[in-house]
Structure 1
Amino acid sequence: MPHNVPISNFLSSALASKHPPDVSTIMSRTCKRFGFLHATLYVMSRGRDGGTNNLFTTYSPEWVKYYFENDYSRLDPIMRRSLHSILPVNWCSVKPKTLAERRIVGESLEHGVGSTGLTAVQRLPSGGISVLTFTSDEQPQHWNRRVKEIAADTVYAACILTDSLRIGNECSALPQPLTSRECEVLQWAARGKSAWETGRILGISRRTVEFHIGNCCEKLNTVSKTQAISKALTQRVISL
Protein backbone atom coordinates (compact mmCIF):
# COMPACT_ATOMS: atom_id res chain seq x y z
CA MET A 1 0.00 0.00 0.00
CA PRO A 2 1.53 3.40 -0.98
CA HIS A 3 2.08 5.89 1.82
CA ASN A 4 3.00 8.92 -0.27
CA VAL A 5 0.87 11.29 1.84
CA PRO A 6 2.69 12.38 5.04
CA ILE A 7 1.01 11.34 8.27
CA SER A 8 0.96 14.96 9.43
CA ASN A 9 -0.93 16.04 6.28
CA PHE A 10 -3.47 13.29 6.80
CA LEU A 11 -4.03 14.36 10.41
CA SER A 12 -4.21 18.06 9.55
CA SER A 13 -6.84 17.41 6.88
CA ALA A 14 -8.93 15.28 9.26
CA LEU A 15 -8.80 17.88 12.03
CA ALA A 16 -9.55 20.76 9.65
CA SER A 17 -12.78 19.18 8.40
CA LYS A 18 -16.14 20.77 9.24
CA HIS A 19 -16.91 18.02 11.75
CA PRO A 20 -13.50 16.69 12.85
CA PRO A 21 -13.49 13.20 14.39
CA ASP A 22 -12.31 12.62 17.94
CA VAL A 23 -8.72 11.56 18.52
CA SER A 24 -9.61 7.90 19.14
CA THR A 25 -11.28 7.73 15.74
CA ILE A 26 -8.29 9.44 14.13
CA MET A 27 -6.01 6.80 15.65
CA SER A 28 -8.05 4.04 14.01
CA ARG A 29 -8.18 5.81 10.66
CA THR A 30 -4.45 6.46 10.71
CA CYS A 31 -3.77 2.75 11.21
CA LYS A 32 -6.01 1.87 8.28
CA ARG A 33 -4.58 4.53 5.98
CA PHE A 34 -0.91 3.85 6.67
CA GLY A 35 -1.00 0.15 7.44
CA PHE A 36 0.00 0.37 11.10
CA LEU A 37 -1.03 -2.36 13.48
CA HIS A 38 -1.81 0.07 16.31
CA ALA A 39 -1.62 3.77 17.10
CA THR A 40 -1.57 5.39 20.53
CA LEU A 41 -1.46 8.93 21.89
CA TYR A 42 -0.82 9.19 25.63
CA VAL A 43 -0.90 12.70 27.13
CA MET A 44 0.26 13.37 30.67
CA SER A 45 -0.46 17.02 31.45
CA ARG A 46 0.26 19.07 34.53
CA GLY A 47 -1.68 21.97 35.99
CA ARG A 48 -2.39 23.90 39.17
CA ASP A 49 -4.69 21.17 40.42
CA GLY A 50 -2.23 18.38 39.70
CA GLY A 51 -2.34 16.58 36.40
CA THR A 52 -4.46 14.46 34.08
CA ASN A 53 -3.61 11.45 31.93
CA ASN A 54 -5.46 10.86 28.67
CA LEU A 55 -5.07 7.81 26.47
CA PHE A 56 -6.29 7.41 22.90
CA THR A 57 -5.40 3.99 21.56
CA THR A 58 -6.33 1.07 19.37
CA TYR A 59 -4.77 -1.40 21.83
CA SER A 60 -7.17 -3.88 23.41
CA PRO A 61 -8.81 -2.81 26.69
CA GLU A 62 -7.34 -5.94 28.28
CA TRP A 63 -3.78 -4.84 27.48
CA VAL A 64 -4.41 -1.24 28.61
CA LYS A 65 -5.83 -2.46 31.92
CA TYR A 66 -3.02 -4.98 32.44
CA TYR A 67 -0.31 -2.45 31.53
CA PHE A 68 -1.44 0.21 34.01
CA GLU A 69 -2.40 -2.20 36.77
CA ASN A 70 1.16 -3.55 36.74
CA ASP A 71 2.72 -0.07 36.52
CA TYR A 72 4.51 -1.10 33.33
CA SER A 73 5.05 2.51 32.22
CA ARG A 74 7.77 2.67 34.89
CA LEU A 75 9.50 -0.50 33.65
CA ASP A 76 8.76 -0.42 29.91
CA PRO A 77 12.14 -0.24 28.09
CA ILE A 78 10.56 1.68 25.18
CA MET A 79 9.11 4.33 27.49
CA ARG A 80 12.33 4.60 29.48
CA ARG A 81 14.39 5.15 26.34
CA SER A 82 11.84 7.55 24.84
CA LEU A 83 11.69 9.74 27.94
CA HIS A 84 15.45 10.29 27.71
CA SER A 85 15.59 10.81 23.96
CA ILE A 86 15.04 13.91 21.83
CA LEU A 87 14.62 11.80 18.70
CA PRO A 88 11.83 9.26 18.08
CA VAL A 89 12.74 5.79 19.29
CA ASN A 90 12.72 2.88 16.87
CA TRP A 91 11.74 -0.19 18.87
CA CYS A 92 14.25 -2.27 16.90
CA SER A 93 17.05 -0.31 18.56
CA VAL A 94 15.89 -1.18 22.08
CA LYS A 95 17.07 -4.48 23.53
CA PRO A 96 15.43 -5.60 26.80
CA LYS A 97 18.14 -6.09 29.42
CA THR A 98 16.36 -7.21 32.57
CA LEU A 99 13.96 -10.04 33.29
CA ALA A 100 11.17 -7.50 33.89
CA GLU A 101 11.82 -5.80 30.55
CA ARG A 102 11.83 -9.12 28.71
CA ARG A 103 8.56 -10.05 30.41
CA ILE A 104 6.90 -6.79 29.32
CA VAL A 105 7.99 -7.27 25.72
CA GLY A 106 6.83 -10.88 25.70
CA GLU A 107 3.45 -10.06 27.19
CA SER A 108 2.93 -7.17 24.77
CA LEU A 109 3.44 -9.59 21.87
CA GLU A 110 0.91 -11.98 23.40
CA HIS A 111 -1.62 -9.13 23.53
CA GLY A 112 -1.08 -8.23 19.87
CA VAL A 113 0.73 -4.93 20.40
CA GLY A 114 3.19 -5.59 17.58
CA SER A 115 6.83 -6.57 17.28
CA THR A 116 8.13 -3.30 15.82
CA GLY A 117 7.21 0.30 16.47
CA LEU A 118 8.16 3.96 16.63
CA THR A 119 7.62 6.19 19.67
CA ALA A 120 7.95 9.98 19.75
CA VAL A 121 7.80 12.02 22.96
CA GLN A 122 6.89 15.71 22.97
CA ARG A 123 7.58 17.92 25.99
CA LEU A 124 4.65 20.20 26.77
CA PRO A 125 4.94 23.84 27.96
CA SER A 126 3.08 22.86 31.15
CA GLY A 127 5.83 20.37 32.03
CA GLY A 128 3.88 17.32 30.92
CA ILE A 129 4.53 15.09 27.93
CA SER A 130 2.69 13.50 25.04
CA VAL A 131 3.71 10.15 23.62
CA LEU A 132 2.74 9.09 20.10
CA THR A 133 3.37 5.50 19.04
CA PHE A 134 2.80 3.57 15.83
CA THR A 135 3.32 -0.20 15.85
CA SER A 136 3.65 -2.87 13.19
CA ASP A 137 4.40 -6.54 12.64
CA GLU A 138 6.76 -5.81 9.75
CA GLN A 139 10.12 -7.55 9.71
CA PRO A 140 12.85 -5.38 11.31
CA GLN A 141 14.72 -4.76 8.04
CA HIS A 142 11.54 -3.49 6.36
CA TRP A 143 10.47 -1.48 9.40
CA ASN A 144 13.89 0.16 9.72
CA ARG A 145 13.59 1.46 6.17
CA ARG A 146 10.14 2.80 6.88
CA VAL A 147 11.25 4.50 10.08
CA LYS A 148 13.72 6.57 8.05
CA GLU A 149 10.77 7.82 6.00
CA ILE A 150 8.34 8.62 8.82
CA ALA A 151 10.47 9.47 11.90
CA ALA A 152 10.57 13.25 11.44
CA ASP A 153 6.94 13.39 10.35
CA THR A 154 5.89 11.37 13.42
CA VAL A 155 7.29 14.11 15.66
CA TYR A 156 5.26 16.71 13.78
CA ALA A 157 2.19 14.44 13.93
CA ALA A 158 2.54 14.29 17.72
CA CYS A 159 2.58 18.10 17.83
CA ILE A 160 -0.56 18.32 15.69
CA LEU A 161 -2.52 15.80 17.74
CA THR A 162 -1.47 17.23 21.10
CA ASP A 163 -2.32 20.76 20.00
CA SER A 164 -5.74 19.58 18.81
CA LEU A 165 -6.45 18.40 22.36
CA ARG A 166 -5.60 21.82 23.73
CA ILE A 167 -7.79 23.59 21.17
CA GLY A 168 -10.62 21.08 21.35
CA ASN A 169 -10.35 20.83 25.14
CA GLU A 170 -10.65 17.03 24.97
CA CYS A 171 -8.58 16.78 28.14
CA SER A 172 -11.26 18.55 30.19
CA ALA A 173 -14.04 16.93 32.16
CA LEU A 174 -16.77 15.10 30.37
CA PRO A 175 -19.44 17.49 28.99
CA GLN A 176 -22.14 14.91 29.80
CA PRO A 177 -21.43 12.68 32.80
CA LEU A 178 -22.40 9.05 32.55
CA THR A 179 -25.32 7.86 34.64
CA SER A 180 -24.72 5.27 37.35
CA ARG A 181 -26.34 2.61 35.14
CA GLU A 182 -24.15 3.56 32.15
CA CYS A 183 -21.07 3.30 34.36
CA GLU A 184 -22.18 -0.14 35.56
CA VAL A 185 -22.74 -1.40 32.03
CA LEU A 186 -19.43 -0.01 30.77
CA GLN A 187 -17.55 -1.39 33.75
CA TRP A 188 -18.86 -4.92 33.13
CA ALA A 189 -17.97 -4.54 29.45
CA ALA A 190 -14.44 -3.55 30.49
CA ARG A 191 -14.26 -6.81 32.44
CA GLY A 192 -14.98 -8.74 29.27
CA LYS A 193 -18.69 -9.42 29.77
CA SER A 194 -20.95 -9.60 26.72
CA ALA A 195 -24.18 -7.59 26.50
CA TRP A 196 -26.13 -10.75 27.33
CA GLU A 197 -23.95 -11.54 30.37
CA THR A 198 -24.14 -7.95 31.62
CA GLY A 199 -27.91 -8.05 31.25
CA ARG A 200 -28.12 -11.20 33.37
CA ILE A 201 -25.92 -9.64 36.06
CA LEU A 202 -27.87 -6.36 36.21
CA GLY A 203 -31.31 -7.83 35.62
CA ILE A 204 -31.95 -5.98 32.36
CA SER A 205 -32.31 -7.06 28.74
CA ARG A 206 -29.46 -7.37 26.26
CA ARG A 207 -31.06 -4.63 24.17
CA THR A 208 -31.10 -2.27 27.15
CA VAL A 209 -27.41 -2.98 27.76
CA GLU A 210 -26.63 -2.14 24.13
CA PHE A 211 -28.70 1.04 24.46
CA HIS A 212 -26.60 2.15 27.45
CA ILE A 213 -23.36 1.30 25.63
CA GLY A 214 -24.52 3.47 22.75
CA ASN A 215 -25.15 6.34 25.15
CA CYS A 216 -21.68 5.87 26.64
CA CYS A 217 -20.08 6.07 23.20
CA GLU A 218 -21.99 9.24 22.41
CA LYS A 219 -21.17 10.95 25.69
CA LEU A 220 -17.51 9.93 25.54
CA ASN A 221 -17.28 11.01 21.90
CA THR A 222 -16.11 7.61 20.69
CA VAL A 223 -17.21 5.33 17.86
CA SER A 224 -16.88 1.92 19.49
CA LYS A 225 -17.30 0.15 22.82
CA THR A 226 -13.56 -0.53 22.97
CA GLN A 227 -12.72 3.15 22.59
CA ALA A 228 -15.35 4.11 25.16
CA ILE A 229 -13.87 1.67 27.69
CA SER A 230 -10.34 2.95 27.06
CA LYS A 231 -11.36 6.59 27.45
CA ALA A 232 -13.50 5.93 30.54
CA LEU A 233 -10.62 4.06 32.22
CA THR A 234 -8.03 6.75 31.54
CA GLN A 235 -10.38 9.53 32.67
CA ARG A 236 -11.25 7.44 35.75
CA VAL A 237 -14.93 7.42 34.94
CA ILE A 238 -14.86 3.69 35.67
CA SER A 239 -12.35 1.50 37.47
CA LEU A 240 -11.46 -2.17 37.50
Structure 2
Amino acid sequence: MLEAFIEQLQEVETFEGLNALVVGLRDGLNVEHIVYHSVNASGGQYAALTYDDSWVNRYIEQDYARVDPVVQACFRRFHPIDWKQLDWSGKAQRSFLGEAIDSGVGNQGFSLPIRGPSGQFALFSISDRMTDEKWARFTQENVQNLLLVSHYINQKALEIERGTDHAQLVSLSPRETDALTMLAMGYSRAKAAEALSISEHTLRVYIESARFKLAALNTTHAVARALASGLLVV
Protein backbone atom coordinates (compact mmCIF):
# COMPACT_ATOMS: atom_id res chain seq x y z
CA MET A 1 0.00 0.00 0.00
CA LEU A 2 2.88 2.38 0.79
CA GLU A 3 4.37 2.07 -2.70
CA ALA A 4 1.00 2.71 -4.35
CA PHE A 5 0.36 5.72 -2.13
CA ILE A 6 3.75 7.26 -2.95
CA GLU A 7 3.16 6.73 -6.67
CA GLN A 8 -0.23 8.43 -6.44
CA LEU A 9 1.28 11.24 -4.40
CA GLN A 10 3.77 12.04 -7.15
CA GLU A 11 0.87 12.84 -9.49
CA VAL A 12 -0.82 15.28 -7.10
CA GLU A 13 -0.56 18.95 -8.15
CA THR A 14 -3.12 20.74 -5.96
CA PHE A 15 -4.08 20.92 -2.29
CA GLU A 16 -7.50 19.54 -3.22
CA GLY A 17 -5.82 16.51 -4.77
CA LEU A 18 -3.67 16.07 -1.67
CA ASN A 19 -6.73 16.17 0.57
CA ALA A 20 -8.44 13.53 -1.59
CA LEU A 21 -5.37 11.32 -1.27
CA VAL A 22 -5.40 11.71 2.53
CA VAL A 23 -9.04 10.57 2.54
CA GLY A 24 -8.01 7.54 0.50
CA LEU A 25 -5.17 6.81 2.91
CA ARG A 26 -7.63 6.96 5.82
CA ASP A 27 -9.80 4.37 4.10
CA GLY A 28 -6.82 2.19 3.24
CA LEU A 29 -5.58 2.14 6.83
CA ASN A 30 -9.15 1.61 8.07
CA VAL A 31 -8.92 4.30 10.76
CA GLU A 32 -11.44 6.98 11.73
CA HIS A 33 -9.39 10.03 10.79
CA ILE A 34 -6.12 11.35 9.39
CA VAL A 35 -4.94 14.95 9.73
CA TYR A 36 -1.97 16.72 8.16
CA HIS A 37 -1.55 20.30 9.40
CA SER A 38 1.28 22.62 8.34
CA VAL A 39 2.35 26.04 9.61
CA ASN A 40 5.09 27.94 7.77
CA ALA A 41 7.51 30.47 9.25
CA SER A 42 5.22 33.43 8.48
CA GLY A 43 2.22 31.79 10.14
CA GLY A 44 0.47 30.58 6.98
CA GLN A 45 -1.45 27.37 7.53
CA TYR A 46 -2.72 24.46 5.45
CA ALA A 47 -4.52 21.30 6.45
CA ALA A 48 -5.54 18.08 4.68
CA LEU A 49 -7.90 16.17 6.94
CA THR A 50 -10.91 13.91 7.27
CA TYR A 51 -12.64 15.53 10.28
CA ASP A 52 -16.21 16.77 9.93
CA ASP A 53 -16.38 20.46 9.02
CA SER A 54 -18.42 21.15 12.15
CA TRP A 55 -15.57 19.97 14.39
CA VAL A 56 -12.95 21.86 12.37
CA ASN A 57 -14.97 25.07 12.64
CA ARG A 58 -15.55 24.54 16.36
CA TYR A 59 -11.81 23.92 16.92
CA ILE A 60 -10.89 27.14 15.12
CA GLU A 61 -13.63 29.26 16.72
CA GLN A 62 -12.64 28.18 20.23
CA ASP A 63 -8.90 28.40 19.46
CA TYR A 64 -8.49 24.92 20.89
CA ALA A 65 -4.84 24.81 19.80
CA ARG A 66 -4.13 26.75 23.01
CA VAL A 67 -5.27 23.86 25.21
CA ASP A 68 -4.83 20.85 22.91
CA PRO A 69 -2.12 18.68 24.55
CA VAL A 70 -1.35 17.06 21.19
CA VAL A 71 -0.43 20.37 19.54
CA GLN A 72 1.57 21.51 22.56
CA ALA A 73 3.49 18.22 22.73
CA CYS A 74 4.28 18.21 19.01
CA PHE A 75 5.80 21.70 19.29
CA ARG A 76 8.13 20.48 22.05
CA ARG A 77 9.06 17.01 20.82
CA PHE A 78 10.60 15.31 17.82
CA HIS A 79 9.38 11.73 18.32
CA PRO A 80 5.99 10.04 17.69
CA ILE A 81 3.39 10.78 20.35
CA ASP A 82 0.61 8.51 21.57
CA TRP A 83 -2.20 10.74 22.80
CA LYS A 84 -2.92 8.66 25.90
CA GLN A 85 0.62 9.31 27.15
CA LEU A 86 -0.12 13.05 27.37
CA ASP A 87 -1.45 14.98 30.36
CA TRP A 88 -5.22 15.41 30.04
CA SER A 89 -5.79 16.10 33.75
CA GLY A 90 -6.55 19.83 33.44
CA LYS A 91 -10.18 20.93 33.38
CA ALA A 92 -9.84 22.62 29.98
CA GLN A 93 -8.07 19.58 28.53
CA ARG A 94 -10.67 17.14 29.84
CA SER A 95 -13.50 19.26 28.47
CA PHE A 96 -11.74 19.54 25.09
CA LEU A 97 -11.13 15.77 24.95
CA GLY A 98 -14.75 14.98 25.73
CA GLU A 99 -15.96 17.31 23.01
CA ALA A 100 -13.46 15.88 20.52
CA ILE A 101 -14.61 12.31 21.21
CA ASP A 102 -18.27 13.35 20.93
CA SER A 103 -17.40 14.90 17.55
CA GLY A 104 -16.07 11.59 16.26
CA VAL A 105 -12.33 12.18 16.58
CA GLY A 106 -11.85 8.90 18.45
CA ASN A 107 -10.49 7.92 21.85
CA GLN A 108 -7.12 6.84 20.44
CA GLY A 109 -4.60 9.01 18.63
CA PHE A 110 -1.03 9.00 17.35
CA SER A 111 0.84 12.08 16.08
CA LEU A 112 4.13 12.66 14.31
CA PRO A 113 5.82 16.11 14.56
CA ILE A 114 7.47 17.27 11.33
CA ARG A 115 10.00 20.09 11.02
CA GLY A 116 10.71 21.28 7.53
CA PRO A 117 12.92 23.94 5.93
CA SER A 118 12.87 27.64 6.86
CA GLY A 119 11.01 27.17 10.14
CA GLN A 120 8.10 25.18 8.69
CA PHE A 121 6.31 22.97 11.22
CA ALA A 122 3.70 20.30 10.62
CA LEU A 123 2.03 17.43 12.38
CA PHE A 124 0.52 14.24 11.03
CA SER A 125 -2.09 12.47 13.14
CA ILE A 126 -4.26 9.37 12.95
CA SER A 127 -7.11 8.60 15.34
CA ASP A 128 -9.63 5.85 15.93
CA ARG A 129 -11.95 4.13 18.42
CA MET A 130 -9.94 0.92 18.84
CA THR A 131 -9.31 -0.77 22.16
CA ASP A 132 -6.00 0.00 23.88
CA GLU A 133 -4.62 -3.42 22.97
CA LYS A 134 -5.60 -3.22 19.31
CA TRP A 135 -4.34 0.36 19.03
CA ALA A 136 -0.97 -0.51 20.53
CA ARG A 137 -0.60 -3.34 18.05
CA PHE A 138 -1.72 -1.17 15.12
CA THR A 139 0.70 1.68 15.88
CA GLN A 140 3.60 -0.68 16.52
CA GLU A 141 3.04 -2.43 13.20
CA ASN A 142 2.56 0.77 11.19
CA VAL A 143 4.82 3.39 12.79
CA GLN A 144 7.61 3.11 10.21
CA ASN A 145 5.23 3.45 7.27
CA LEU A 146 3.43 6.32 8.98
CA LEU A 147 6.74 8.13 9.46
CA LEU A 148 7.52 7.78 5.76
CA VAL A 149 4.01 8.77 4.67
CA SER A 150 3.99 11.86 6.89
CA HIS A 151 7.23 13.16 5.41
CA TYR A 152 6.18 12.38 1.83
CA ILE A 153 2.94 14.30 2.40
CA ASN A 154 4.87 17.21 3.90
CA GLN A 155 7.26 17.23 0.96
CA LYS A 156 4.35 17.30 -1.49
CA ALA A 157 2.60 20.10 0.43
CA LEU A 158 5.79 22.18 0.27
CA GLU A 159 6.08 21.54 -3.47
CA ILE A 160 2.49 22.66 -4.03
CA GLU A 161 2.94 25.77 -1.87
CA ARG A 162 6.35 26.88 -3.11
CA GLY A 163 6.91 25.01 -6.34
CA THR A 164 9.77 23.18 -4.64
CA ASP A 165 10.53 21.51 -1.32
CA HIS A 166 14.03 22.99 -1.28
CA ALA A 167 15.03 26.06 0.70
CA GLN A 168 18.25 28.01 0.87
CA LEU A 169 20.25 26.79 3.84
CA VAL A 170 21.77 29.09 6.40
CA SER A 171 25.49 28.72 7.02
CA LEU A 172 26.60 28.66 10.66
CA SER A 173 30.17 29.04 11.85
CA PRO A 174 31.78 26.02 13.59
CA ARG A 175 31.46 27.73 16.98
CA GLU A 176 27.82 28.68 16.38
CA THR A 177 27.15 25.07 15.43
CA ASP A 178 28.93 23.81 18.54
CA ALA A 179 26.95 26.15 20.79
CA LEU A 180 23.55 25.11 19.40
CA THR A 181 24.55 21.45 19.41
CA MET A 182 25.31 21.58 23.12
CA LEU A 183 21.92 23.15 23.81
CA ALA A 184 20.18 20.59 21.59
CA MET A 185 21.82 17.85 23.66
CA GLY A 186 20.30 19.31 26.82
CA TYR A 187 23.36 21.08 28.24
CA SER A 188 22.77 24.16 30.37
CA ARG A 189 24.54 27.30 29.18
CA ALA A 190 27.06 26.96 31.99
CA LYS A 191 27.83 23.34 31.12
CA ALA A 192 27.96 24.12 27.39
CA ALA A 193 30.44 26.95 27.96
CA GLU A 194 32.56 24.70 30.15
CA ALA A 195 32.54 21.90 27.56
CA LEU A 196 33.59 24.34 24.82
CA SER A 197 36.20 26.00 27.08
CA ILE A 198 34.71 29.45 26.60
CA SER A 199 32.96 31.94 28.87
CA GLU A 200 29.18 32.09 29.15
CA HIS A 201 29.32 35.57 27.65
CA THR A 202 31.14 34.25 24.56
CA LEU A 203 28.68 31.37 24.33
CA ARG A 204 25.82 33.85 24.40
CA VAL A 205 27.42 35.80 21.53
CA TYR A 206 27.58 32.63 19.40
CA ILE A 207 23.99 31.70 20.25
CA GLU A 208 22.65 35.16 19.44
CA SER A 209 24.58 35.24 16.18
CA ALA A 210 23.14 31.87 15.18
CA ARG A 211 19.64 32.96 16.22
CA PHE A 212 19.92 36.05 14.00
CA LYS A 213 21.09 33.99 11.01
CA LEU A 214 18.23 31.52 11.50
CA ALA A 215 15.64 34.31 11.95
CA ALA A 216 14.56 32.54 15.14
CA LEU A 217 12.31 34.06 17.79
CA ASN A 218 14.34 32.65 20.67
CA THR A 219 17.06 30.12 21.46
CA THR A 220 14.70 27.14 21.47
CA HIS A 221 13.37 28.19 18.07
CA ALA A 222 16.95 28.54 16.79
CA VAL A 223 17.82 25.00 17.89
CA ALA A 224 14.65 23.64 16.28
CA ARG A 225 15.35 25.43 13.00
CA ALA A 226 18.97 24.29 12.95
CA LEU A 227 17.90 20.69 13.55
CA ALA A 228 15.19 20.88 10.88
CA SER A 229 17.71 22.26 8.37
CA GLY A 230 20.20 19.49 9.07
CA LEU A 231 22.78 21.93 10.49
CA LEU A 232 23.17 19.98 13.73
CA VAL A 233 24.02 16.34 14.33
CA VAL A 234 22.82 15.24 17.76
On whether the aligned pair clears a TM of 0.5, the verdict is yes
Q: What is the Cα deviation at residue 40 of structure 1?
A: 0.8
Q: How many residues matched?
A: 162
Question: Of 38, 57, 69, which residue of structure 2 is paired with 1:43?
Answer: 38
Residue 70 (structure 1) aligns with = 62
Question: Of 3, 6, 12, which residue of structure 1 is paired with 2:6?
Answer: 12
Secondary structure of the corresponding residue to residue 51 of structure 1: coil
1:155 equivalent to 2:147? Answer yes
1:26-37 correspondence to structure 2 within 5 Å: 26-37=21-32
Residue 114 (structure 1) aligns with = 106
Residue 134 (structure 1) aligns with = 126
TM normalised by structure 1 equals 0.63
Question: Of 20, 35, 38, which residue of structure 2 is paired with 1:25?
Answer: 20
1:58 equivalent to 2:50? Answer yes
1:103 equivalent to 2:103? Answer no
Q: What is the Cα deviation at residue 29 of structure 1?
A: 0.3
1:187-206 correspondence to structure 2 within 5 Å: none
Secondary structure of the corresponding residue to residue 117 of structure 2: coil
RMSD of Structure 2 on Structure 1 (CA)? 2.1
Separation in structure 1 between the aligned mates of residue 130 and residue 110 of structure 2, nearest angstrom: 12
Larger Rg: 2
Amino acid at match of 1:14: Q
- CA displacement 1:54-95 (0-9 Å, x = unmatched): 111110111111111111112101222222221111122224
Separation in structure 1 between the aligned mates of residue 153 and residue 10 of structure 2, nearest angstrom: 12
Q: What is the Cα deviation at residue 115 of structure 1?
A: 0.8
Secondary structure of the corresponding residue to residue 97 of structure 1: coil
Bigger fraction of residues in helix: 2
Secondary structure of the corresponding residue to residue 158 of structure 1: helix
- CA displacement 1:196-240 (0-9 Å, x = unmatched): xxxxxxxxxxxxxxxxxxxxxxxxxxxxxxxxxxxxxxxxxxxxx
Separation in structure 1 between the aligned mates of residue 4 and residue 110 of structure 2, nearest angstrom: 18
Contact 2:111 2:123 in 1 (8 A): yes
Q: What is the Cα deviation at residue 17 of structure 1?
A: 4.2
1:81 equivalent to 2:76? Answer no
Residue 115 (structure 2) aligns with = 123
In the superposition, relative to structure 1, how do residues 125 and 54 fare at CA in structure 2: closer, same or farther (>3 Å)? same
Separation in structure 2 between the aligned mates of residue 92 and residue 124 of structure 1, nearest angstrom: 26
Task: Using the aligned pairs only, state the percent identity.
Answer: 19
Separation in structure 2 between the aligned mates of residue 62 and residue 73 of structure 1, nearest angstrom: 16
Unaligned runs of 5+ in 1: 172-240
Secondary structure of the corresponding residue to residue 111 of structure 2: strand
Contact 2:110 2:126 in 1 (8 A): yes
Larger RCO (CA under 8 A, 6+ residues apart): 1
